[in-house]
């Protein structure tokens, strides 16, 4: 996911950042907003994905 004409760097996100963002924590939300404006490409690994998905409520 590289913006045309720019260089991008990867930034690793921990599950706590994702969970806090979902909960509406202002610091985490602000971080996501800044990431959207930056050239950073957020990435996670399989462990972070499972830690993020596991606590979500099931239908």
Q: Over its length of 59 residues, how does the chain's per-residue pLDDT go in tens digits?
A: 555 556 789 999 999 999 999 999 999 999 999 999 999 999 999 999 999 888 767 67
Q: Can you give the pTM of this predicted structure?
A: 0.72
Residue-level pLDDT at 48: 95
Hey, what are 18's tokens? 């994702």
Give, in order, the Cα–Cα distances in Å from 53 to each of 2, 6, 12, 43.
26, 32, 17, 15
Q: What is the 3-state secondary structure (H, E, C) of the chain?
A: CCCCCCCCEEEECCHHHHHHHHHCCHHHHHHHHHHHHCCEEEECCHHHHHHHHCCCCCC
């Amino acid at each position: 996911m590289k913006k045309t004409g720019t260089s991008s760097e990867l930034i690793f996100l921990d599950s706590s950042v994702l969970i806090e963002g979902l909960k509406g924590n202002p610091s985490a939300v602000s971080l996501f907003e800044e990431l959207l404006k930056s050239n950073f490409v957020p990435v996670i690994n399989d462990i972070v994905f499972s830690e993020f998905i596991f606590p979500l409520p099931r239908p």
